[in-house]
């Protein structure tokens, strides 16, 4: 009898085990709400540097931490493109959107220049509504890799047309770059956008409340290509967080079942191309404000939400240390109040209005960077700044420092390089490097990212959690 019972029990447990296995296999986790953050240029040193900067600012250890550096799954991945160990944002973005390697300067195409589907296509196919959000132009490289296919990322005529054809419900960016008419950014396209079915907004709250199935949210003035640098923002200025919050509110209402969102901290890269350290750290903090909004959402839907934070590449070859020393003095950076772009325009304003005396310029550098105040200036350093002032600011010789996105005043650059040097921080370049980049994941299916080693793996894992698969030619 006992033996018979044992056989029955063994048989039963085998059946339970089999049916459990089948159920598990069938119930592959599904990410109903996907938040995909791309910190443009945000290498590991940029992330760690931001936390040291925050600590030096006097924040508590908890406040100083970026929310995503505590995510349970994180690692390092390669960012090389199909044509170079040093990628640009178009190729890196293509890898992160489609799961394939691309040529530098190309968008949504593989190395043979064939178009590939992106996570936005997976979203549409699987019944997700979606949003694409950036604090730079909506037709800049990183947003467009999700919906455009172009051999030249700077062919803005064609790229903008493809932007207006984008299969997404909510598209937010500071502007639409227009190479034909460089300022204001996007006015010419607004009428076209309406013809393509977009409801166009310049105000985040109105966009968030819209009933339209196609919302295009642009900057309030269109006088700038990007939103204002976070370090330059005043009360009431639009920030990435406003766009992210509007997109969440819109999608939560319009797509309560499932949605996909990409949020780009694009301005991080702009600051890094200028080697403007404090501005890049403040931009990373600014993107983190949006990650915190995703975390609040996660708390309401913990079993169905996936949050992925990645960098597309490293910009600047940033070193937390230098000069053969074991020192880092972030206290020399924390008094910076303006981006190099704003400092440049303040200096140019002084010169244009006949107020460019050394005393006045010195007072500006003191107020905006803390020089001759909390940041000590030696007589040799003052001599160096004074020489730059005389040669570039007064005599107009070698007075511009041109980076990928800006044309800055030499004196602003030299003064910012001085505080950077005093912090013992060094830069390798004003462009990108091939340094591996970080990724951070939490939420449903996060464990499937543990073996990610390459940027193409990220969208492949996300697509799977949305019920689709990448890469896939169109
Ligand atoms: Zn860049």
Q: Are residues 281 and 364 in the same domain?
A: no
How close is the Cα of 405 to the center of ligand 1, in Å? 9
How close is the Cα of 267 to the center of ligand 1, in Å? 9
Find the CATH number of the domain harbouring 303.
3.40.720.10
Q: Check whether 178 has a pLDDT greater than 90.
A: no
Cβ atoms of residues 377 and 370 within 8 Å: no
Which has more pLDDT, 309 or 157?
A: 309
Q: Are residues 165 and 313 in the same domain?
A: yes
**Model confidence band, residue 21 (pLDDT cutoffs 50, 70, 90):** very low
Per the domain annotation, does 8 fall within a domain? no
Entry pTM: 0.93
How close is the Cα of 120 to the center of ligand 1, in Å? 23
Q: Quickly count: other Cβ atoms within 10 Å of residue 22's Cβ.
A: 10
How close is the Cα of 142 to the center of ligand 1, in Å? 10
Q: Check whether 357 has a pLDDT greater than 60.
A: yes
Per the domain annotation, does 87 fall within a domain? yes
Q: Are residues 377 and 292 in the same domain?
A: no
Q: Are residues 290 and 372 in the same domain?
A: no
152 conformational bin, left if phi > 0, alpha if psi -120 to 50, beta if neither:
beta
Q: Are residues 198 and 335 in the same domain?
A: no
Single residue among 389, 404, 422 that ends a domain in this structure: 422
Q: Are residues 121 and 189 in the same domain?
A: yes
Range 14-31 average pLDDT: 55
Q: Are residues 41 and 185 in the same domain?
A: yes
Per the domain annotation, does 192 fall within a domain? yes
Q: Check whether 426 has a pLDDT greater than 90.
A: yes
Q: Encode pLDDT of 74-100 as tens digits.
A: 999 999 999 999 999 999 999 999 999
Q: Are residues 246 and 108 in the same domain?
A: yes
Q: Are residues 285 and 396 in the same domain?
A: no
How close is the Cα of 42 to the center of ligand 1, in Å? 10
How close is the Cα of 1 to the center of ligand 1, in Å? 76
How close is the Cα of 433 to the center of ligand 1, in Å? 10
Full DSSP string of 281-337? HHHHHHHHHHHHHHHHHHHHSTTTEEEEEEES-EES--BS--TT-S---GGGTTT--
Q: Are residues 284 and 162 in the same domain?
A: yes
Per the domain annotation, does 13 fall within a domain? no
Range 131-142 average pLDDT: 95
Per the domain annotation, does 25 fall within a domain? no
94-to-106, 266, 354 alpha-carbon distances in Å: 8, 15, 48
Per the domain annotation, does 473 fall within a domain? no
Chain mean pLDDT for the chain: 93
Q: Check whether 188 has a pLDDT greater than 90.
A: no
How close is the Cα of 41 to the center of ligand 1, in Å? 6
Per the domain annotation, does 228 fall within a domain? yes
How close is the Cα of 166 to the center of ligand 1, in Å? 23
Q: Encode pLDDT of 30-66 as tens digits.
A: 999 999 999 999 999 999 999 999 999 999 999 999 9
Domain count, the chain: 2
How close is the Cα of 386 to the center of ligand 1, in Å? 32
How close is the Cα of 182 to the center of ligand 1, in Å? 20
Q: pLDDT value at position 19?
A: 43
Q: Are residues 75 and 140 in the same domain?
A: yes
Per the domain annotation, does 5 fall within a domain? no
Crossing angle (nearest 10°) for helices 156-164 and 187-195: 40
Q: Are residues 210 and 345 in the same domain?
A: no
How close is the Cα of 143 to the center of ligand 1, in Å? 13
Range of the domain at 283: 33-317+431-465
How close is the Cα of 427 to the center of ligand 1, in Å? 15
């Amino acid at each position: 009898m006992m033996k018979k019972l044992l056989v029955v029990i063994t048989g039963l447990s085998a059946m339970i085990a089999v049916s459990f296995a089948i159920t598990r296999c069938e119930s592959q986790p599904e990410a109903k709400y996907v938040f995909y953050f791309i910190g443009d240029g945000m290498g590991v040193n940029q992330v760690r540097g931001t936390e040291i900067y925050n600590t030096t600012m006097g924040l508590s250890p908890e406040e100083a931490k970026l929310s995503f550096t505590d995510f349970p799954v994180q690692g390092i991945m390669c960012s090389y493109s199909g044509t170079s160990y040093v990628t640009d944002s178009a190729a890196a973005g293509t890898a992160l959107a489609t799961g394939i390697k691309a040529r530098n300067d190309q968008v949504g195409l593989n190395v043979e220049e064939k178009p590939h589907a992106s996570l936005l296509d997976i979203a549409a196919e699987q019944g997700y509504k979606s949003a694409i959000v950036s604090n730079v132009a909506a037709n800049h490289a990183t947003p467009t890799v999700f919906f455009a296919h172009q051999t030249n990322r700077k062919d803005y005529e064609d790229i903008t047309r493809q932007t207006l054809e984008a299969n997404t419900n909510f598209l937010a960016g500071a502007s639409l770059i227009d190479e034909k008419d460089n300022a204001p950014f996007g006015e010419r396209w607004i009428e076209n956008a309406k013809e393509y079915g977009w409801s166009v907004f310049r105000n985040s709250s109105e966009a968030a409340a819209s009933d339209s199935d196609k919302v295009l949210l642009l900057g309030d003035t269109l006088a700038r290509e990007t939103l204002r640098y976070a370090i330059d923002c005043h009360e009431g200025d639009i920030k990435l967080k406003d766009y992210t919050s509007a997109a969440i509110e819109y999608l939560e209402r319009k797509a309560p079942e499932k949605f996909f969102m990409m949020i780009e901290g694009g301005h991080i890269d702009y600051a890094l191309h200028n080697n403007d350290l404090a501005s890049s750290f403040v931009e990373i903090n600014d993107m983190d404000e949006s990650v915190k909004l995703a975390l609040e959402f996660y708390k309401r839907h913990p079993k169905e939400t996936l949050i992925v934070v990645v960098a597309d590449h490293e910009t600047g070859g940033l070193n937390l240390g230098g000069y053969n020393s074991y020192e880092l003095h972030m206290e020399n950076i924390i008094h910076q109040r303006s981006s190099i772009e704003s400092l440049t325009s303040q200096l140019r304003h002084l010169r244009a209005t006949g107020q460019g005396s050394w005393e006045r310029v010195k007072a500006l550098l003191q107020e905006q960077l803390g020089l001759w105040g909390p940041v000590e200036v030696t007589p040799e350093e003052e001599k160096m700044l004074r020489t730059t002032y005389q040669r570039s600011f007064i005599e107009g010789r070698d007075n511009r420092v041109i980076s990928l996105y800006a044309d800055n005043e030499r004196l602003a650059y030299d003064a910012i390089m001085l505080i950077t040097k005093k912090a013992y921080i060094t830069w390798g370049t004003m462009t990108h490097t091939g340094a591996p980049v970080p990724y951070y994941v939490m939420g449903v299916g996060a464990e499937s990212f543990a073996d990610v080693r390459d940027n193409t793996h990220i969208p492949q894992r996300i697509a799977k959690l949305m019920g689709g698969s990448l890469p896939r030619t169109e």
